[in-house]
Structure 1
Amino acid sequence: MAKHFDEFSFRPAIKKVVERLNFYEPTPIQSQVIPAVLKGTSVIGQSQTGSGKTHAYLLPLFNQIDVNNHEIQFVITAPTRELAMQIYDEVKKIIDYAGMSGSLNAKLLVGGTDRQKMMAKLKTPPHFIVGTPGRILDLVKEGTISIYGASAFVIDEADLMLELGFIHDVDQLLVRSKNDIQILAFSATIPEQLEHFYRKYLENPLHVKIDDQLSPEKLEHRLIPLKHREDADVIVEISKAIQPYLAIIFANGKEAADTLASSLQQKGLEVGIIHGGLSPRERKRTLKEIQNLRYQYIVATDLASRGIDIKGVSHVINAQLPKEEDFYVHRSGRTARAGMEGTVISLYDEHDVRLIETLQQKGLIFTFWDVKHGEWKETKSWNERNRRRKTTNNADSEAWKRVKKAKKVKPGYKKKMKEQQEKIKKQMNQKSKKKRK
């Protein structure tokens, strides 16, 4: 595996881009994917958000572009317009850094933009198109663009594409592509339906799986017991105890997010909100306000853990823990990026115990806290009480075994046996303490 970007056979223009991006050592996924893309091999890449996968495919694709060939050479699809816009921003940056602004053309194709203006700009085919599969498919069906000449097709966040119901549009686009098109598919997980899709289109792909590091050194995971309190009340207390640069507060679903945001606003906390139920214009406005540092807190659904890249997140707060461990990983991946420190704070209840146990078994280390009057208080772990109860029951049982049973029952024998049992239990506890010392 490559340990330095100099080891890749990039052209001088792309080497210049790497220098301008201040890239030195490739990330694990970059070191494996870049050589494969340069060879024309199809790839299935599995890694979480923030692993460097965008440049793992962009840099080698740019390396192979033919500026004299005026047709669409590369198609990049993403499940949300926000993610497509972020990838497009990286594409524009690479074009600028490579000094290709006059000779290389890229277009962003997403909904919510002026259709007529977009069609007018597509009279000259761009070299790169980046967009949502639905909008690209509409333009292909209308005959505005053709992707048949494209040599590579990127499916970014493929599992989210499947989850949001866009994989059919991707399927329809690939039907209209060359049979031997290079497919670069990236996803954090590979559900069964996605496996079938991959088998249909990818022949002998390179499968690169980067194991998620659940607990990097600079990422702290805190658990706070809900204890029948309202999540908004606890989050307000957390807000008094932390000074986030930016905190994302995750809720399970659009309705829960709306309810929580409304409750926090009533309690005086100014929060932004992002979820799939908002109109594109509303989401765009919120993201712009986040960039302008209007909010310190954003209430969001899992759309923001995968489909939107929000920079500068110092804290992740799980108002409700997700049902699956993968989503905990995706949410956590929004912070402690690019060498920064980060904290994940999760409110939990009894029904979250199974998820917590699973994450602990995978090596994640939790610390246990509560927060009152804006101050952190370290507490015992969620299973400490159960362990203590179990230990007490075992001691009671063992002590009763050692009590001498009277052959003849006399008045007051129950009281005497109970006193004897308590005495034996006390002796057992004293011996146990001595051993621990």
Structure 2
Amino acid sequence: MKKTKFERYEFKPFIMDAIHELGFQEPTEIQERMIPLMLKEESTIGQSQTGTGKTHAYILPILQKIDPEKKEVQAVITAPTRELADQIYREILKVTAHCHPDEEITARVYMGGTDKQRTIDKLKVQPHIVVGTPGRINDLIKEQALVVFTADILVVDEADLVLDMGFIEDVDMIASRMAERLHMFVFSATIPEKLKPFLKKYMENPKYIHIAPKHIAAEKIEHLLLPSRHRNKIELTYTALKQLNPYMAIVFTNTKKNADEVADALLQKGMKVGRIHGDLTPRERKKMMKQVKDLEFQYIVATDLAARGIDIEGVSHVINYELPDDLDFYVHRVGRTARAGFSGIALTIYDLSDEDALNKLEKIGIKFKNVDLQKGEFVDIGERNKRKNRQKQNDETKDKAKAFVRKPNKVKPGYKKRMQAEVEKIEKRQRRLNRGNK
């Protein structure tokens, strides 16, 4: 069997078999830095973007630590969404499938939208690893069906989203019922101020790992800007989608209300549209995700819930119906496309009030191409702030010219006119130089 760079961790044979089958050759940066700390049971905060390999950064060392002979819960992994919990669970199963029958490691996933009583009945035998949404795990603990005081490993995945979605109290309750000497591992794309009291409560001098993205967004994404110019944004979105004709597009809105408005309007125009937001019932959400996976929709309208924790394959285009309030989410949104080496397009419809936000995105390395829709077709419109930039350049030229022309010590009649003429002469020369340098 061909050697990989995972050999250095001295994982159990079944884990190495799984690594070979998964085709992993060398650890990603987050894996390289997290795995040794988790094996040494040092509580750690790992800050990294989606798609950096963080799931296996904690799955592999957890499986290494599990004692199959102890029929009790030894690790708990929480995720903010059912879809992410299910993904984590499936990745664990890919590894545990290689366990020897005599040393089987059991994992179970618990989340809303499933029969609670049936779950409780099945918990007569406790699993080694618990994966699930904080609300459902906490419910099962309160029902005294799930026993977690034996577990000393807690992973909180997508912690900032857990906070945003109001689940941090549930995670707090879960942590308080676990082993006194708790090793906590927190993964998050951002570390909001409101998350810090929770981290401080359970983590004493944690190690902190920040994996800076190699590129602020995938290299193969083309970022397009489309000015709304007081036009109807839904009509503009519809025309843009028709012109782009995507394999699959996600249209992002900031609110559930806007998501429903956009989805309803596009449906009325005969488009195959799905929607993902927090107001869907568990049954609706499950059905929607199945339809999305079965490629029943060409268009999905979603809130930021879909930017994180939900893996939708085949997204060729992302449309920002509006810019997110938190600009970090711009990167998460556009990260839904251009995955696995493919290219993608991210189109943002913006208003004049978005100018500051766009400038901030440009400062962190997003390179926008400015386009407009004219007669149903995209045209390149060059610089976004032509007039403003020209005025700024003229002001700078005037200031430079004034700096060259000094006020005489003894003022003679008509000096102001002569000074102005001199300034204009220098300004003209400077403008000619600027044109020549372009």
TM-based fold match above 0.5: yes
Post-superposition offset of 1:284: 1.0
Which residue number in structure 1 is paired with residue 160 of structure 2?
A: 159
Q: 1:323 aligns with which of 307, 322, 325?
A: 325
Question: Secondary structure of 1:214's partner?
Answer: coil
Work out whether residues 113 and 282 of structure 2, in 8 Å CA contact, stay in contact via their aligned partners in 1. Answer: yes
Q: 1:217 aligns with which of 216, 219, 225?
A: 219
Which residue number in structure 2 is paired with residue 251 of structure 1?
A: 253
- 2:283 is aligned with 1:288: no
The residue type paired with residue 332 of structure 1 is V
**Structure 1 residues 98 and 369: alpha-carbon distance in aligned structure 2, compared to 1, 3 A threshold:** farther
The residue type paired with residue 229 of structure 1 is R
Question: Secondary structure of 1:377's partner?
Answer: strand
Name which of structure 1's ranges 3-12 and 145-154 shifts more when overlaid on structure 2: 3-12
Name which of structure 1's ranges 61-70 and 240-249 shifts more when overlaid on structure 2: 240-249
CA distance in structure 2 between the aligned counterparts of 1:434 and 1:95, rounded to whole angstroms: 66
Matches within 5 A, 1:117-266: 117-212=118-213, 213-266=215-268
For residues 15-68 of structure 1, what are the alpha-carbon distances to aligned partners after superposition, in whole Å with 9 as ceiling and x for unaligned?
111111111122211111111111111111111222211111001111222111
Which residue number in structure 2 is paired with residue 361 of structure 1?
A: 363
Work out whether residues 278 and 305 of structure 2, in 8 Å CA contact, stay in contact via their aligned partners in 1. Answer: yes
The residue type paired with residue 377 of structure 2 is E
Which residue number in structure 1 is paired with residue 385 of structure 2?
A: 383
Post-superposition offset of 1:359: 1.4
CA distance in structure 2 between the aligned counterparts of 1:395 and 1:149, rounded to whole angstroms: 72
Contiguous gaps of at least 5 residues in structure 1:
409-417
CA distance in structure 2 between the aligned counterparts of 1:102 and 1:179, rounded to whole angstroms: 27
CA distance in structure 2 between the aligned counterparts of 1:31 and 1:375, rounded to whole angstroms: 47
CA distance in structure 1 between the aligned counterparts of 2:200 and 2:395, rounded to whole angstroms: 55
Which residue number in structure 1 is paired with residue 409 of structure 2?
A: none
Question: Secondary structure of 2:38's partner?
Answer: helix
Post-superposition offset of 1:156: 0.8
CA distance in structure 2 between the aligned counterparts of 1:430 and 1:202, rounded to whole angstroms: 61
Which residue number in structure 1 is paired with residue 58 of structure 2?
A: 57
Post-superposition offset of 1:341: 1.9
CA distance in structure 2 between the aligned counterparts of 1:130 and 1:316, rounded to whole angstroms: 30
Post-superposition offset of 1:385: 2.2
Post-superposition offset of 1:433: 5.9
CA distance in structure 2 between the aligned counterparts of 1:235 and 1:91, rounded to whole angstroms: 40
CA distance in structure 1 between the aligned counterparts of 2:70 and 2:401, rounded to whole angstroms: 87
Q: 2:270 aligns with which of 268, 273, 293?
A: 268
TM score, norm. by length of structure 2: 0.89
**Structure 1 residues 235 and 123: alpha-carbon distance in aligned structure 2, compared to 1, 3 A threshold:** same
Work out whether residues 397 and 427 of structure 2, in 8 Å CA contact, stay in contact via their aligned partners in 1. Answer: no
Post-superposition offset of 1:164: 1.3
The residue type paired with residue 198 of structure 1 is L
Post-superposition offset of 1:251: 0.3
Contiguous gaps of at least 5 residues in structure 2:
406-412, 415-419
- 2:80 is aligned with 1:79: yes
Which residue number in structure 2 is paired with residue 109 of structure 1?
A: 110
TM score, norm. by length of structure 1: 0.89
Name which of structure 1's ranges 21-30 and 70-79 shifts more when overlaid on structure 2: 21-30
Name which of structure 1's ranges 360-369 and 150-159 shifts more when overlaid on structure 2: 360-369
Which residue number in structure 1 is paired with residue 21 of structure 2?
A: 20
Post-superposition offset of 1:98: 4.3
CA distance in structure 1 between the aligned counterparts of 2:355 and 2:140, rounded to whole angstroms: 48
Name which of structure 1's ranges 7-16 and 386-395 shifts more when overlaid on structure 2: 386-395
Q: 1:308 aligns with which of 295, 307, 310?
A: 310
CA distance in structure 2 between the aligned counterparts of 1:133 and 1:433, rounded to whole angstroms: 60
CA distance in structure 1 between the aligned counterparts of 2:319 and 2:286, rounded to whole angstroms: 23
Question: Secondary structure of 1:286's partner?
Answer: helix
Matches within 5 A, 1:327-366: 327-366=329-368
The residue type paired with residue 165 of structure 2 is L
RMSD: 2.8
Post-superposition offset of 1:393: 6.1
Work out whether residues 398 and 427 of structure 2, in 8 Å CA contact, stay in contact via their aligned partners in 1. Answer: no
- 2:59 is aligned with 1:88: no
For residues 359-385 of structure 1, what are the alpha-carbon distances to aligned partners after superposition, in whole Å with 9 as ceiling and x for unaligned?
111122212122334533111222222
Work out whether residues 20 and 97 of structure 1, in 8 Å CA contact, stay in contact via their aligned partners in 2. Answer: no
**Structure 1 residues 99 and 352: alpha-carbon distance in aligned structure 2, compared to 1, 3 A threshold:** farther
- 2:44 is aligned with 1:43: yes
**Structure 1 residues 135 and 119: alpha-carbon distance in aligned structure 2, compared to 1, 3 A threshold:** same
Post-superposition offset of 1:177: 1.0
Post-superposition offset of 1:279: 0.8
Work out whether residues 241 and 371 of structure 1, in 8 Å CA contact, stay in contact via their aligned partners in 2. Answer: no
Name which of structure 1's ranges 367-376 and 26-35 shifts more when overlaid on structure 2: 367-376
Post-superposition offset of 1:336: 2.1
For residues 385-409 of structure 1, what are the alpha-carbon distances to aligned partners after superposition, in whole Å with 9 as ceiling and x for unaligned?
211233456678999999xxxx89x
CA distance in structure 2 between the aligned counterparts of 1:219 and 1:301, rounded to whole angstroms: 20
**Structure 1 residues 138 and 434: alpha-carbon distance in aligned structure 2, compared to 1, 3 A threshold:** closer
Work out whether residues 40 and 182 of structure 1, in 8 Å CA contact, stay in contact via their aligned partners in 2. Answer: yes
Question: Could you tell me the percent identity over the aligned residues?
Answer: 45
Post-superposition offset of 1:244: 2.5
Post-superposition offset of 1:207: 0.9
The residue type paired with residue 199 of structure 1 is K
Post-superposition offset of 1:303: 0.6
The residue type paired with residue 59 of structure 1 is L
Question: Secondary structure of 2:180's partner?
Answer: coil
The residue type paired with residue 104 of structure 2 is S
Post-superposition offset of 1:308: 2.0
The residue type paired with residue 174 of structure 2 is L
Work out whether residues 154 and 185 of structure 2, in 8 Å CA contact, stay in contact via their aligned partners in 1. Answer: yes
Question: Secondary structure of 2:89's partner?
Answer: helix
Work out whether residues 219 and 342 of structure 1, in 8 Å CA contact, stay in contact via their aligned partners in 2. Answer: yes
**Structure 1 residues 394 and 50: alpha-carbon distance in aligned structure 2, compared to 1, 3 A threshold:** closer
